[in-house]
Every structure is written in structure tokens, then in C-alpha cells.
Amino acid sequence: MSDTPQITDSHCHLDFPDFEGQLDTIVANAAAAGVTRMVTICTRLRNEPQVRAIAEAHPSVFYAAGTHPMSAAEEPLATVDQLVALARHPKFVGIGETGLDYHYNAESAEIQQVSLRIHIAAARETGLPLIIHARDADDDMARILAEEYRQGAYSCVMHCFSSSAELARAALDLGFYLSMSGIAAFPRSQELRDIFAAAPVDRILVETDAPYLAPPPHRGRRNEPAYAAHTARVGAGVFGMEYPEFAARTQANFDRLFTRAALRKAA
């Protein structure tokens, strides 16, 4: 077995055209970098069969499904029953991504909020973690997450976190997790790194959001799960830890949140 510390890319999009015909190589590259698990995310429920097939074909790949907030006005509104039914698959590990994005889609804020609440209800019913996308919607996001939590507890990760310190604190106060993407490794992201540094290390995940947001030294090129290792090394520095220790902590965090993936690994 390799001595390379193991980590998990908690959020990528392996069904996107950027990876067409290359998945065996992409998964092998990840394994060589110590990225031994990946969660590939379905952003439109009509694409769920293709995303599921990727997870079924690769032992190291798990999947989640939901309606991305930027698609909420274009796609049929998901139902709780629909999401719960999808969650019966043994490699289905999370609900989403869902959330709020007012940067490009502020005009669909109302339907985004309805969609978000549906996904929260499904996360609550299934016991699987909610996967949140948040951009330029901090106040509404914090309010809805807290309102819904008062209606019944659920677990959650703030994927690709790059929002305010206030939203980070609101999420952490609810027991949620923050995920570090390549953005946290960009040279001009010191303010974001400071937000992560103020968080408990036992609430931190790492991800790529591949094919987007490649960290240095690959910035500006297509991202892939192997590059989560670059972000994780930056994360180790943020928390003043050696890389193997930080990798182990993020693995434990992932297992605690994504319990279905952890059980499969144990089996």
C-alpha cells in the first residue's frame, strides 16, 4: 500500500463533458495522488442515471443528486419523495447540490428558496447530508438553514465555501461543515483562509469542484480530483498541521458526515 496520505474529494462533477472518455485515467490519477474516494454530484435530476452509472462503474466513486440553484427555474421542481427514492441506492451519499445563487440568478430567488427547502426536507428524512451551494445570498441562506433546523435537525456541508465569516459562523453554529476548494489555495484568498483558520478543524472537508477552480499550480486549467491534494496541503498550512495529520482529520470528518460512504469503506 502507498505511503501517500489518503484524502477524499468530497465534491466533483465527473459526468461533465470535460471528462468524457477519460474517467479511468482520472480515477487512476486521483489514486496516485492519494485521493482514494470521490463524490460526483448530479446537478439536474434528469442526469441522475448517467451520474449513478459512473459511481456504479468505479468502486472509489460515490454520488449525490439534486437541483443546482442556477437551474432551479429551468428544471421541474424536485419532490421530497423523488429525492428519497433516489437515496435508496447504496452509493448515493448526499442530497444536492442545492442552495442559493443570487450572483447570476437573483431573479429566481423565490423558486431557489422553495427548492432548497425541499432538499432540506429530503436530507432530514433520509439522514443523508445536505450539500449546499451559496453565492451572494448569505442573509437568506443563514436564515433558511436556521429556520429549517428548528423544524428538525439535519446535517450539511457548505460546499466550495467562499462566503462571509458571518455565514461560516452561522453554519458552524448549526453543526455543519465547511469544504475547502481550490479557491482557498489562490494567492489572493488570504481572507478566506483566515475564515477557515477560525473554524474547528473537525468541521473541514476538501474538494475540487472539478472541472472548475483548479488550485495552483494548475490554476486556469481543467481541474480533476487528483488536485484535491494541492488544496489539502494548503489546508494543512492554514491549520498549522503536517499534511498527513490534516489528511487524516479530513478523512475522519468526511466519514462522520458521509456515513453511508464510511460504512461502505469499512465493509
Q: Is 103 annotated as a binding residue?
A: no
Q: Is 209 annotated as a binding residue?
A: yes
For residue 137, the Cα-to-chain-centroid distance in whole angstroms is 18
Give the list of residues 6+ apart from residue 81 with CB closer than 8 angstroms, or none: none
Q: Is 11 annotated as a binding residue?
A: yes
Q: Is 140 annotated as a binding residue?
A: no
Q: Which amino acid appears at position 73 of this protein?
A: A
Q: Is 97 annotated as a binding residue?
A: yes
Cα 2 from Cα 252, distance rounded (Å): 19
Q: Which of 101, 207, 100, 231 is nearest to 159 (CA)?
A: 207
Q: Is 139 annotated as a binding residue?
A: no
Binding residues for a divalent metal cation: 11, 13, 97, 133, 159, 209
Numbered residues of the known binding site: 11, 13, 97, 133, 159, 209
